[in-house]
Structure 1
Amino acid sequence: MLGAFLRSLGTSDAAIPDGTEERAALYRACLEGRRVLVLLDNARDAAQVRPLLPDDGAPDCVALITSRTHMSDLDRAHPVDLDAMSPPEAFDLFALIVGHERATVERAEVMDVVASCSYLPLAIRIAASRLASRRTWTVSVLAHKLADERRRLDELRAGDLAVKATFELGYGQLDPAQARAFRLLGLAGGPDISLSAAGAVLGLDAAETGRLLTSLVDISLLESAVPGRYRFHDLVRLYARACAKRERRAAAEREEALSRLLDFYLATAARVYALERPGDRMVEHLEPTGHPGLLFETSKAALDWLFAEADCLLACVPKCTGESTRRRTGDLLLGALDLAESGARPRQYETVAQVVCDAAHAAGDSRTEARARSALGHLYSFTGRYGHAERELRRALELDGEDPVVASRASNQLGIVANGLGRHEDAERYLVQALEAFRADANEAGEASALANLSRLHVSRGRTRTGVELAEQGLAIYRRLGAPLRLANGMYTVGIALTRAHRLEEASVHLTEALDLFREARQPLWEGMTHFRLAEMHLAAQRPSEAVAHAEQSLALGGLGGEWRRFSILTVLAKALMGAGQRTRAQDCWRQARALRERLGSPEPEEVRQLLSTSAPDLPAATDPYTGHRDAYGVGPPVTESDPWT
C-alpha cells in the first residue's frame, strides 16, 4: 500500500525503499506542503493504518478511515460511530440510483426493499443497482426476492459487489472461540439477547461470555445498545445463521445450543412463576432442565426479567419443537403464563402456542399437546374467546386428563368459560372437578383460584352469602402464601362479592388494595378491570363523580374480554355521567356502546344481557351482577370470534 501511495505522489520505483519504516518516512516527507485527503477504507486494525497516516509535518493533510474495528489505540483519532440510514435517507439513496420517478411510483415497495436491506448503504446500493440494470423489473419483483430471508444475502449481489463478501472479511479474521460465538448467537430469536442467555447458548460462564461478546462488539459484528444486552444487525444475523449451517457439526451444534437456551428460559421462567405463586405446585410437574435458572431477590425483579425477555423467550419456542426439546417447550408456555395473563404478548403467545400444538400433534406427543392446548385455552379465556377456549381446553382433557397440570387447570378454565356462556351447572361441575384436582395435588394456590371462581359463580346466581364466604376462603389462602399478585386477585374477587352484598365500604378497601398491587405487578389489564369494579362500587354507593373517574381510567387501560368488555365499561361510564349531570357526554358514551354492540354482531354474553335488561330512558342500567373476570386469575365476557383482537 505504501508503494502505491508513493507512486501516486510521483516517486519513481527506483526511489522507493524496501523497508516499511523507510517507505513510511518517505511517504510523510512527500506529504509535506500538500493538501491531501487520505481515504483508508475497511481497515483491519490500527497497526495496518499507522504507517499510512500523515504526521505533524503535513498539517494540511488528514486521513479518513472506515473500519469495523473500534481503533481506541489510534492516537489523535476522532471516532464517529455510523448507524444505519434513516428510512428517508435510504429512499433517497435508492431513488438516486434507479431514478426518482421510478422509485416514487412504487414508494411502498421501495420502503420494503430498503427495510430488507436493513437500511445499510452497501445493501441498498446493490439492490438498487440490480433494479437499475433490469428495466423490465418492477420494484415489487425485487421486494419479493428480498422478502425470503433464506435467499436474501445471495440476492444482495451485483457484479463484484456483495454484502456477504463484506461479512466474510470480518468473519475470516475471528479466532475459533469468536467464530463459534458468532455462529451460535445468530441462532437465538428475538430482537436481542442478554448476557445470561448468551452464556446459556455458548455454554460458558458470564466472564468468558462477556469477553467474547465484547470482542465481537469491538469489530462491529455485534452491537450493544444498552449494558448487558447484545444484538445483531439483521443482515449480520442472517450471515451468522448461514455460517452455523455450513459447519461440520452444524446440526448437532445448533441443537445443543438451542437446548441450552431453552433450559435457561424454562428454569428461569419457572422461578418467576414460583415466586409469583407460592404454594402452586405446577412447577414441580415441569420437565427437568440442565440450567439452574436465574435467582431473584424480589417479585418485582422476577417480573421485570420476564417482561424484558418476553420477545426473546417466545421466539425460542418455535425453534425447539424437535424430539429432544418439545416437552420442555410446552412447559415453557405454562411457566410464562404471566405473558398471557397480563396482555403483554397475546398475539405472540398464541402464535407460538399453536406451533407447539401442531408439532406435538404431528409427533403423537399427547402430553405436550395437552399442556400446550391448556395454555392456549387459558389465553383464549382471558381474551374472551370462549368458543376457542372451550375447544382447546376440552381437547386438552381428552388428550391427557390424568396429567395433574391439565386435570386441574383445564377444568378450572372450563368452569370460567361455561360460566361466561351462562351454563351455570356445567360451570359448577367443572369448578368442583378443578377444586378436587388441585387438592389432590396439594396445590394451595390452585385451590384458592378454584374457590374464587366458585365464589363468582355463586354471586352470579344470587347466592351472595356463600359467594362472599368462598371468596374469603380463597383470600385467606393467598394471604398465608404471601403472593402479592395472587393476593391482588383474591382482593379483587372479594371486592366484587362484597359489592354484590352491598357491603360497599369493605368492597372499596379490598378493590383499592388490589389496584395498588396490580399496578406494582405491571398488570395494566387488571388495573383497568379493577378501576371498572371500583366504578361499579361507587355507582352502587351513589357517588357518580368517583364512578366517572374510575370508569374513564378503565377505558384508558382496557380490560380482559375484548370489545364486550369495552361495551360494559362504556355503559357503566354512561350511567355514571348521567348521575353526575353530564347528560351530553353520557349520551355520547351510549351511542358508542350501541355502535360497538352492532359491530360485534354476535349474541351478548350473559353479563351484557343483564346490563341491558334494566335501562334508564337513555342508557342501559349500570348494575351488573356478574361482569368481567370469572377467576382469581380472571377473564371477561366473550368477544366476537371473528375479530378477537380489535
Structure 2
Amino acid sequence: MPVVGVSGLGGVGKSTLAVHVAHAVGGQYPDGQLYVNLRGAGAFPADPGEVLAGFLGALGVADAALPPGTAERAALFRSRVAGLRVLIVLDDARDTRQVRPLLPGSRSCAVLVTSRAWLSGLPTTRQVGLEPLTPEESVRLLAAIAGRARVAAEPAAARRLAEACGFLPLAVRTAASRLAARPAWQLSHMADRLASERRRLAELEAGELAVAASFRLSYDQLDAEGARAFRLLSLADGPGVSSAAAAVLLGLPEPAAERLAEALTDLGLLSCPFPGRYQYHDLLRLFARELVREVDGEAAGRAAVERLLRHYLATVAGLYRVVRPGYPFADLVAAGAAGPGFTGPGFTGPAEGLRWARQEVPAVLAVAGQAARDPDGPLALVADLTLLLVQLIDLGTAVPELCDLAGRVAGAAGAAGLPESEARARYTLMWAQREFQRTSQARSEAARVVALARRTGQSALLPGALVVLALTSLPHCTDEQVAAWCDEAVALAAELGNRSARAFVEGMAALADLAVDRPESALGRAERSLAAFRGLGDFVGQVHMLYARAGALHGLGRFEAAGRDYEECLGALRALGSWDRMPGVLVSLAGSYRAAGRPAQALEAAEQALAIAERVGLEHRRAGALAAVGQALSDLGEQDGGPACLA
C-alpha cells in the first residue's frame, strides 16, 4: 500500500499538490477516490470515526449499518476497499493518531497525506517536505491565473508582487485571483496595494500572516452586508456554526443568514462541510475576529456571542423538556434567562433531541466555555446553561467536556461572588463527578451544593444534591444518616409540588436503599417512580427506574425478573443510541445471569460490556466489565482466563 506524506507550512501548496496528483494518477485507480479535509491545523480536528462514516457512506454503507465505534468502522472500511484500487487523499492531518484508523491496509489502494507536521510515525513510502516557490515559479503561477500577456507586459511589477507575497503559493494565488477578476487593473496597481500595507508586508514575510494580507484583499471586495457577516460569524468558538446559529449571530432570519453564508462560501471565505454548517479556516477566523475589534468594537462582538448563548439556552431548555418532561429546571432557568424572542427549535421526543445534541453540543459547550473565560462575559447566563446541560449525563453525551465546563464556571462564579450561579454549576459538576465514579469529589460537590442551595433559597437543587450526598457517603456515614438524607430529599421534592422531581428523587433514593441493603424499600420506591415517569411520558426516567427496579429485584433474589428489567433497559438505551450507559447495565445483567445459574449468558453480557467500553473509550466502565468477564469465566471453570481478568 503506497502511502505518501506531504508536509510544510500553511499556504505552501500541500492541498493543491495533493489534488493535482490525484487528478494525474486518477486513471490508475478506477474504483474511485476518497478525499477528506482532516482540519488538523484548526482547534477542532476531524474525528476519525466521523471521517470513516463519510467514507463508508460513499462506499454504499447505509447509515443504519454504521458501527458505533471507530475501530469497528475502520475494520469495515478496510474490508470494503480490500482488493479495490482506490486513491485516498487525507488533507491537513494533525498527527499520526488521527490518520492511522483511515489507512485502508490493502496493497491495491494508495494514500496521499498532507500535514503541517512531519508524520514520521506513519508507514510512508515517501515523505516530501514542500518549500515556498522560487521567484520564477511564483511569476509563472501569477501568469497562469492573472494572464500571461499581463505579466509579460509588466515583468518588474510581477516580480515585485511575487516578492510581496513571500513566494507563498496561497498568497500568490489569492493576489492573482483578484487580478483575474479585474482585467482593467495593472499588475503595478496590485503590487502598490501590497506595498502600502507596511505592517502586513512584514507579516507576509513572516509567513503566517501573509495569508491574512490576501484575506484582506478579499474582504475589501465584500459589500457592507457580506463584510458584516464575514466578521460576526467568526465570533463563536467551536467546530463551525449552523445556519440557525448564524442567524442569531447576525440578528437575521435564518434564510437570509444562510444566503450570506453561502455567498461567503462561494468566495472561498467559508467552507461548507455539509448542508447548513459553515466553517472558517483557523487563520481566516483570527483575521475576521481582528476585524470585529477594528470595525464593530468588542462590545458588539460580546453582544453577538451573548445572543448566541441565549439561543443555546432556549434550545437546551427545550431539549430538557423532552428528555425530562415536567422537571422544574427548564422553567426555573429559562423563565426570563434566555430573554424574549429566544425560543429555540422544538423537539418531538428524546431521540430527536439526542440527535440534535450529538451534532450541536460541541458547539454549545465551546461557546459556553468561551463566555466563561471572558472576564466581562455573562457568567450567570453560562451557569444557567451549565445547569440545563446536566441532562447530557442522562444521555451519556459529552460528559468529560461538561465536567470541565462546570468546574470552570463554578470556580469563576465563586470568585465573582455569585453563589446562586455557583450552586447551579456545581450541581452539574456533582453529577458529572458521580458519573465518572469519582465518589469523594462528587460527595464534596454535593455538600457544597446543599449548603449553597440552602443559602440562596434554591430549593429545586436540594433534592438531587441530597440523594447524591446519600449515594456517595457510604461507608463514611451510617445507614441511618443515608436513609435520613433520602427521606429528606423525597419530602423536599414533594413540597415542590412537582411530580417529575419527586419521581426522580424517589428513584435515586431507591439506589441509595440498595446501597444500604434495603431491597424491599428500594423496590417500592423504584416501582412508584417508574409508574410516575410512565404517566409523565418521561422515557429517560423510565430507563433509569427499570435499572433501579432490576437492582432491587436482584437484591430480593428474583434474578430472572431482574434480568428481564435489565434487558428492557438495554433495549431502551439502544433506541436512544446511548452507548455510554450500556456497559454498566450489561455488567449488572451479567451479575443477574450468574446468580440465576446462567454463566454462559453472563459471559456474553460481560464481554459485550467490555467491547462497548473499549470501543467508546469508557475507562471508568472497563474495569467493572473486565471483572464481570473474569467472574463468568471462573463460573464456567476456565481458571486460566478468570483470574487474569480479575487481577
Would you say 1:353 and 2:401 are equivalent positions?
Answer: no
**Distance in structure 2 (CA, Å) of the matches to 1:216 and 1:424:** 64
**Distance in structure 1 (CA, Å) of the matches to 2:617 and 2:438:** 8
Q: 1:164 to 1:94 in 2, by over 3 A?
A: farther
State which of 578, 589, 613 in structure 2 corresponds to 1:534. Answer: 589
What is the CA distance between 1:513 and its match in structure 2? Answer: 1.0
Would you say 1:502 and 2:557 are equivalent positions?
Answer: yes
What is the CA distance between 1:173 and its match in structure 2? Answer: 0.8
Would you say 1:282 and 2:324 are equivalent positions?
Answer: no
Whether the 8 Å contact between 2:449 and 2:461 is mirrored in structure 1 is: yes
Q: 1:460 to 1:391 in 2, by over 3 A?
A: closer
- The 3-state SS of whatever aligns with 1:209 is helix
Whether the 8 Å contact between 1:93 and 1:124 is mirrored in structure 2 is: no
Structure 2 partner of 1:232:
280
Structure 2 partner of 1:457:
512
* Partner deviation per Cα, 1:389-420 (whole Å, 9 max, x = no partner): 22222222323322123222222221221147
Would you say 1:553 and 2:600 are equivalent positions?
Answer: no
**Distance in structure 2 (CA, Å) of the matches to 1:201 and 1:359:** 25
Q: 1:424 to 1:158 in 2, by over 3 A?
A: same
- The 3-state SS of whatever aligns with 2:278 is strand
Residue 302 of structure 1 aligns with an amino acid whose one-letter code is: G
Residue 433 of structure 1 aligns with an amino acid whose one-letter code is: E
**Distance in structure 2 (CA, Å) of the matches to 1:554 and 1:447:** 31
Whether the 8 Å contact between 1:396 and 1:406 is mirrored in structure 2 is: yes
What is the CA distance between 1:428 and its match in structure 2? Answer: 2.2
State which of 511, 526, 533 in structure 2 corresponds to 1:478. Answer: 533
**Distance in structure 1 (CA, Å) of the matches to 2:294 and 2:376:** 23
Would you say 1:488 and 2:535 are equivalent positions?
Answer: no
What is the CA distance between 1:294 and its match in structure 2? Answer: 0.7
Query: Which is worse superposed, 514-523 or 405-414?
Result: 405-414
Structure 2 partner of 1:221:
269
Residue 351 of structure 1 aligns with an amino acid whose one-letter code is: D
Would you say 1:190 and 2:238 are equivalent positions?
Answer: yes
Whether the 8 Å contact between 1:307 and 1:339 is mirrored in structure 2 is: no
Structure 1 partner of 2:179:
none
TM-score by length of structure 1 reads 0.67
What is the CA distance between 1:302 and its match in structure 2? Answer: 1.1
Structure 1 partner of 2:452:
399
**Distance in structure 2 (CA, Å) of the matches to 1:487 and 1:282:** 19
What is the CA distance between 1:580 and its match in structure 2? Answer: 2.3
- The 3-state SS of whatever aligns with 1:542 is coil
Would you say 1:376 and 2:424 are equivalent positions?
Answer: no
What is the CA distance between 1:556 and its match in structure 2? Answer: 1.9
Q: 1:316 to 1:405 in 2, by over 3 A?
A: farther
* Partner deviation per Cα, 1:360-387 (whole Å, 9 max, x = no partner): 1232111101111111111111111122
Residue 354 of structure 1 aligns with an amino acid whose one-letter code is: G
Structure 2 partner of 1:158:
206
Residue 237 of structure 1 aligns with an amino acid whose one-letter code is: R
Q: Percent identity?
A: 32
What is the CA distance between 1:310 and its match in structure 2? Answer: 1.4
Whether the 8 Å contact between 1:286 and 1:328 is mirrored in structure 2 is: no
**Distance in structure 2 (CA, Å) of the matches to 1:582 and 1:395:** 48
- The 3-state SS of whatever aligns with 1:582 is coil
**5+ long unaligned stretches in structure 1:** 1-80, 99-119, 126-150, 595-646
**Distance in structure 2 (CA, Å) of the matches to 1:315 and 1:284:** 24
What is the CA distance between 1:275 and its match in structure 2? Answer: 0.4
**Distance in structure 2 (CA, Å) of the matches to 1:160 and 1:386:** 47
* Partner deviation per Cα, 1:483-527 (whole Å, 9 max, x = no partner): 111111111110111111122222222111111111222222221
Would you say 1:318 and 2:369 are equivalent positions?
Answer: yes
Whether the 8 Å contact between 2:504 and 2:529 is mirrored in structure 1 is: yes
Structure 1 partner of 2:523:
468
Residue 399 of structure 1 aligns with an amino acid whose one-letter code is: L
State which of 290, 296, 306 in structure 2 corresponds to 1:242. Answer: 290
**Distance in structure 2 (CA, Å) of the matches to 1:94 and 1:168:** 28
What is the CA distance between 1:583 and its match in structure 2? Answer: 2.7
Structure 1 partner of 2:633:
577
* Partner deviation per Cα, 1:53-99 (whole Å, 9 max, x = no partner): xxxxxxxxxxxxxxxxxxxxxxxxxxxx997584358756656469x
Whether the 8 Å contact between 1:383 and 1:562 is mirrored in structure 2 is: no
- The 3-state SS of whatever aligns with 2:637 is coil
Q: Which has the larger radius of gyration?
A: 1
Would you say 1:202 and 2:250 are equivalent positions?
Answer: yes
What is the CA distance between 1:154 and its match in structure 2? Answer: 8.2
- The 3-state SS of whatever aligns with 2:640 is helix
**Distance in structure 2 (CA, Å) of the matches to 1:437 and 1:179:** 54
Residue 454 of structure 1 aligns with an amino acid whose one-letter code is: A
**Distance in structure 1 (CA, Å) of the matches to 2:487 and 2:633:** 40
Q: 1:218 to 1:400 in 2, by over 3 A?
A: same
Would you say 1:309 and 2:364 are equivalent positions?
Answer: no
State which of 81, 87, 102 in structure 1 corresponds to 2:114. Answer: 87
Structure 2 partner of 1:256:
303
Structure 2 partner of 1:24:
none
Would you say 1:589 and 2:636 are equivalent positions?
Answer: no
**5+ long unaligned stretches in structure 2:** 1-88, 94-112, 119-126, 134-167, 174-198
* Partner deviation per Cα, 1:539-571 (whole Å, 9 max, x = no partner): 011000000000111112239997675433323
Residue 218 of structure 1 aligns with an amino acid whose one-letter code is: D
**Distance in structure 1 (CA, Å) of the matches to 2:417 and 2:200:** 35
**Distance in structure 2 (CA, Å) of the matches to 1:480 and 1:293:** 26
What is the CA distance between 1:585 and its match in structure 2? Answer: 1.9
Residue 478 of structure 1 aligns with an amino acid whose one-letter code is: F
State which of 335, 338, 350 in structure 2 corresponds to 1:299. Answer: 350
Structure 2 partner of 1:18:
none
State which of 145, 158, 177 in structure 1 corresponds to 2:225. Answer: 177
- The 3-state SS of whatever aligns with 2:473 is helix
Query: Which is worse superposed, 393-402 or 376-385?
Result: 393-402
**Distance in structure 2 (CA, Å) of the matches to 1:586 and 1:359:** 48
**Distance in structure 2 (CA, Å) of the matches to 1:175 and 1:263:** 29
Residue 346 of structure 1 aligns with an amino acid whose one-letter code is: V
Residue 352 of structure 1 aligns with an amino acid whose one-letter code is: L
- The 3-state SS of whatever aligns with 1:427 is helix
**Distance in structure 2 (CA, Å) of the matches to 1:207 and 1:165:** 31
Q: 1:387 to 1:160 in 2, by over 3 A?
A: closer
Whether the 8 Å contact between 1:178 and 1:216 is mirrored in structure 2 is: yes
- The 3-state SS of whatever aligns with 2:642 is helix
What is the CA distance between 1:472 and its match in structure 2? Answer: 0.8
Count of equivalent residues: 466
Whether the 8 Å contact between 1:382 and 1:561 is mirrored in structure 2 is: no
- The 3-state SS of whatever aligns with 2:597 is coil
Q: 1:461 to 1:324 in 2, by over 3 A?
A: closer
Whether the 8 Å contact between 1:418 and 1:424 is mirrored in structure 2 is: no
**Distance in structure 1 (CA, Å) of the matches to 2:289 and 2:504:** 44
**Distance in structure 2 (CA, Å) of the matches to 1:154 and 1:365:** 46
